[in-house]
Structure 1
Amino acid sequence: MEDEFLNNELIEQFEHMLDHKENIYFDTEQLQEIISFYLDVSDFEYAKKALDYAFSLHPDHHDLKVKKIEYHLSLTQLKKAAELITELKDILSDDLEYLLVVARFWAIKDLPKKAIQFYKKAALHEEDLDFIYNCIGNEYLNLDEVSSALEYFLKALEYSEDNDFSFYSIIQCYNELHAYQDCINFLKTYIDENPYSEIAWGQLGAQYEQVKQLEDALEAYDYVTVINPTSISGYTQKGNILTQLGRYEEAILTLEESLEYDDSPAITYLVIGECYEKLNLPLKALKSYHLSIKEDPQLDKVWARTSALYSKSENYQEALFYLNRAIDLDDRNVEYWKAHCYILIKLGKYEEAITSYRTIVDIEPFRLNNWIALIEANIVMEEYQTAIQEGQKALKHFNRAEIHYQLSSIFFQINDELQGKEHLEKALTLDASIKEEYFLKYPILHRFHTKSDE
């Protein structure tokens, strides 16, 4: 067993007995404690040894059989558990431990209504109510009855104010119900009774963010950092709110405070850099981005942000270097590929840009604008046959006027007037309202349209 458990004299005594092949007498309560210990730490091999030894001393003891049901449930041996449940049904029908294992049995069987029925019977004993009410809450969540789940999690918290499971479950329920103001009221009441709860203040800040009360959120996160001056999440959330409020200088100062306690500050440096960009201080932003990269070279976002900064200053070669690294780290990010196309076009690398456009279409084949951009890139490069092929592929997904206008212009360019007119007619039938836009873009369309009118 793990060293941390070796201070348990009863466990030490039992394991010493096994190691030395001795026989020591344990009463049923001691054996239940031993079995429970092994089940709690998921050591099922020793739990089985403890059960076997227990039945060798007390072969027909009912409480030990309940422990055996627990053992079977832990291993999802439902048939064996069911046999013992049936055997003990008339004998232990009102026993707390028996009711709890039967409730757990039905929960594992994914029959929450039956589980709730037995948990409610167990609650009549008025013992372990925080645990029982939490279990009932979980089963109501399985039934998607969030309001009922919330009711029982609140009851559980009444019996154990420091129960983190109940607390977080309550927050989860309020969020699922989109009852943010009710959650805020709950948290205020909770904080009145637990004014130094860092967790509660943090959750209060998050709820205020949901309802866009950013100043109140900022005040809540302030309390988090007052209660715990080393709270990285507190500083981070404060910085995030200050950024949303446009108070970038304060955001930077707040985030810099967290660096003293942050073992992995890459994201913090990234956000600081973004704040410097908002303040039009690109050199300071670039320094922060480089510090972020140094802290975590696997963070694709900072490579992309660095690329965007170089691109903004028209240093496209550097921008391409950093963006290539971002794409290496996340090659399914469409925004990276779109930026990649832009930079390649600026560098005059049109064929490579077309390859990037094709990648975008592969990742997002059901976005019309991706196809339009790919076809347009081929038109610009006068790769008309490829543009026609891409256009025909696009029509399989979208029978849209935009694509027909593009195809019409291409066919007119290659002197295939028949197909040019056919696609132009389809385009005008589908959407004549964008005619002028495309006639301006492709003057050849206007010329042939005027010619046909004559």
Structure 2
Amino acid sequence: MKDFSQHDEEKDQELSELLQRYEDFRGGRGGSYIEEEAFEKIIEHFEAQEQFLKALQAVEIATEQFPYSASLLIKKADLLLNRRKYEQALTLLEQASIFDNNNIDIYILKTEAFLALDRQEEAVELLKEALEFFEGEDKIELLFELADVYDDYEDFEKVFDCLKEILQQEPDNEEALYKICFWTDYTGRNAESIELHKKIIDETPYNELAWFNLGAAFQGLKLYEKAIDAYQYALVIDEKMDYAYRNIGDAYIRLRKYKDAIEYLEKVLELSKPEDVIYEAIGFCYEKMKNYALARFYYRKASHLNPDISYLAYKIAYTYYKEEKYEMCVKQLDTALKLKRNKPEYSILMGDCKMQLGFTKEAIQYFSNVVRLKPKSAVGWEALIKCLYDAEYYDEASKQIDNALTMTKNKPIFIYYRALIQFAQGKKKQALIYLEEALISDPGQFKRFYKSIPPYFNINKWQILS
């Protein structure tokens, strides 16, 4: 038996002889005759070597010898498409269709030319027409081509329709199964996806991708328990499907089952390359479980892989804040703010820390920065006004309440604050008038407002309201 190297040597020898025959033929030497199939091999060789001019020259000679060869005309059209000669390519493809109208490459190359010429509607009509004539694998290929056309022109609902039709014809088509998972999430057609994948599972119950897609569709509808069940079936079939572990972890986070989420997220780290999002998710779980030391441990691991370390420094800072370790929180926030000064959430947390540490004027500066960055957000204005109230800068607080009401389109919460400031200034009757106005505007805000006043504010000032 010949070994592979000997076989390769023989193929190389045959190709060299064929190329020499071609050169002789092209030069008019020796009266050589080259068969149509041999021309195709020569053209394919030049294409493989990326010698496209030589390939085009060879196909020109070949079509002169075999003017009625559909396959050679198709090859020539393909080479012309690469040179952006779209109209010439279309003319050749029309000729080729006369000789062989059942060649799928004619339709695919015509589609490419139409798209290059921005004739999307013609590309769609051509492919729809072709779908009437082809069956089996050819029809599947055309449906994928049609899906790509719809994708290019952002008709995403029809991309989903094409993939759905593919799976109805070929339930175990891996490419379609992978793609439809993305497009289900993108288009929000989760209910259809559930129905489709249940049918696929009925036909091919050991199809792990179908089980995974079913889980993803349930997850898209926030049916997390059902999603977990579907992912578990996928893992029974393929225990190394890391994306199933990842999605189960996410589902458990949504269910606030943080310990279970950690178990599955750690499995992702065992099966795949470490990712910052997984470390961050585990850190988030520990944070929710109030294990702030471990939360920081995983946030720091994430920071080694994530270029946006400012965000993770903020996450670490927040764990210190929850532990009332305000000096450590400030240190982490300093790092975050050096990298990204214009992040309102960084400044608002820093302002809170400064308040807790008794640095009221510094806190005011940070809260002022928040309202500068997000003037239409009530959060920054509320923090600033609370801070001014605590510092007993009542006149300034009143001015900022006016600004807040203007910028937030008269949110009732600031009318409550106006009442508070009036009372602090000893204007009890005016305070009650504003309080009544606030209660009429939004009575539900009072409870939140009262609870939102931090312990370092003088709550006794509210005794008039009891």
More moved, 211-220 vs 85-94: 85-94
Amino acid at match of 2:129: K
Whole-angstrom distance in 1 between the partners of 2:324 and 2:116:
61
Q: Distance in 1 between matches of 2:204 and 2:178?
A: 15
Matching residue's letter, 1:67: K
Aligned twin of 1:324: 334
> Contact 1:17/1:23 (CA < 8 Å) preserved in 2?
no
Higher deviation after alignment, 253-262 or 374-383: 374-383
Pairs aligned (count): 422
Please tell me whether the aligned partners of residues 341 and 353 of structure 1 are also in contact (alpha carbons under 8 angstroms): yes
Q: Which amino acid aligns with 2:106?
A: Y
Give the equivalent residue in structure 2 for 1:82.
87
The aligned residue for residue 464 of structure 2 is none
Per-residue deviation at 1:141? Answer: 5.3
* The one of 58, 62, 67 aligned to 2:63: 58
For 2:355, what is the secondary structure of its paired residue?
helix
Cα deviations across residues 103-124 of structure 1 (Å, max 9, x unaligned)?
2222333433211221133331
Q: 1:34 to 1:338 in 2, by over 3 A?
A: farther
Residue of structure 1 equivalent to 2:463: none
Letter in 2 for 1:49: K
Q: Give the residue type in structure 1 aligned to 2:199.
A: T
**Cα deviation per residue 1:11-69 (whole Å; 9 max; x = unaligned)?**
99489959x98879865445556656887x8x8x5233311222134347464443343
**Are 1:115 and 2:120 an aligned pair?**
no
Counterparts of 2:102 and 2:314, CA distance in 1: 62
Q: What's the CA shift for 1:311?
A: 0.8
Preserved CA contact (<8 Å) 2:44 2:55: no
Structure 2 gap segments, 5+ residues each: 1-7, 27-32, 425-429, 454-466
Distance change >3 Å, CA 245–CA 157, structure 1 → 2: closer
Letter aligned with residue 79 of structure 2: Y
Which consecutive residues of structure 1, in runs of 5 or more, have no partner in the other structure? Answer: 1-5, 414-420, 442-454
Pairwise CA distance, 1:132? 0.7
User: Which of residues 178, 182, 185 is equivalent to 2:188?
Assistant: 178
Corresponding residue number in structure 1 for 2:109: 101
What amino acid does structure 2 have at the position aligned with 1:56?
I
1:401 Cα deviation after fit: 7.1
* Residue matched to 1:245: 255
1:112/1:142 contact within 8 Å kept: no
Match of 1:92 in 2: 97
The offset of 1:322, in angstroms, is: 2.1
Q: Which digits, 9 at most, give the CA deviation of each residue in 1:367-394, with x for residues without a partner?
A: 2443454466567668899889978876
CA distance in 2, matches of 1:162, 1:270: 35
Q: What does 1:204-219 correspond to in 2, within 5 Å?
A: 204-219=214-229
Contact 2:150/2:159, CA 8 A, preserved across alignment: yes
Asked if 1:224 corresponds to 2:204, the answer is: no
Identity %: 24
Output the aligned Cα RMSD: 4.9
Question: Superposition pairs for residues 418-429 of structure 1, below 5 Å?
Answer: none
How much has 1:218 moved relative to structure 2?
1.3
In structure 2, relative to structure 1, the CA distance for the partners of 1:382 and 1:153 (3 Å cut) is same
> Which residue of the partner structure matches residue 71 of structure 1?
79
Q: 1:334 matched to which residue of 2?
A: 344
Could you say if the C-alpha distance between residues 272 and 143 of structure 1 is closer, same or farther in structure 2, counting changes exceeding 3 Å? closer
Is the partner of 2:51 in helix, strand or coil? helix
The residue type equivalent to 1:259 in the other structure is L
Give the TM-score of the pair, scaled to structure 1.
Answer: 0.71
Cα 1:21–1:319, aligned 2, differ >3 Å: closer, same or farther?
Answer: farther
Secondary structure at the residue paired with 1:260?
helix
Aligned pairs for 1:4-83 within 5 A: 13=15, 27-29=35-37, 31-32=39-40, 45-59=50-64, 61=67, 63-74=71-82, 77=84, 80-83=85-88
From the superposition, tell whether residues 428 and 152 of structure 1 become closer, same or farther in structure 2 (CA, over 3 Å).
Answer: same
- Residue of structure 2 equivalent to 1:233: 243
Distance 1:11 1:324, change over 3 A: farther
Among 137, 145, 148, which residue is 2:147 paired with?
137
Work out the CA distance in 1 between the residues paired with 2:164 and 2:15: 41
1:263 counterpart = 2:268: no
Asked whether the equivalents of residues 245 and 265 of structure 2 are also in contact (C-alpha less than 8 Å), the reply is yes
When residues 10 and 299 of structure 1 are mapped into structure 2, their CA distance, relative to the original with a 3 A threshold, is farther
- Contact kept, 8 Å, 2:143 with 2:162, in 1: the verdict is yes
Deviation string 1:327-378 (CA, Å, 9 cap, x unpaired) is: 4555554333322221232233444434433443344343244345446656
Aligned counterpart, 2:353: 343
Q: Is contact 1:113–1:139 with CA below 8 Å preserved after alignment?
A: no
Q: Residues of 1 paired with 2:170 and 2:95: CA distance? A: 33
Q: Hey, what's the Cα distance between the residues in 2 that align with 1:81 and 1:12?
A: 35
| Alpha-carbon separation, structure 1, partners of 2:368 and 2:403 | 12
- How many Å separate the matches in 1 of 2:398 and 2:35? 86
How many angstroms does 1:172 deviate by?
4.7
CA drift at 1:261? 2.9
Q: Which moved more, 1:255-264 or 1:156-165?
A: 156-165
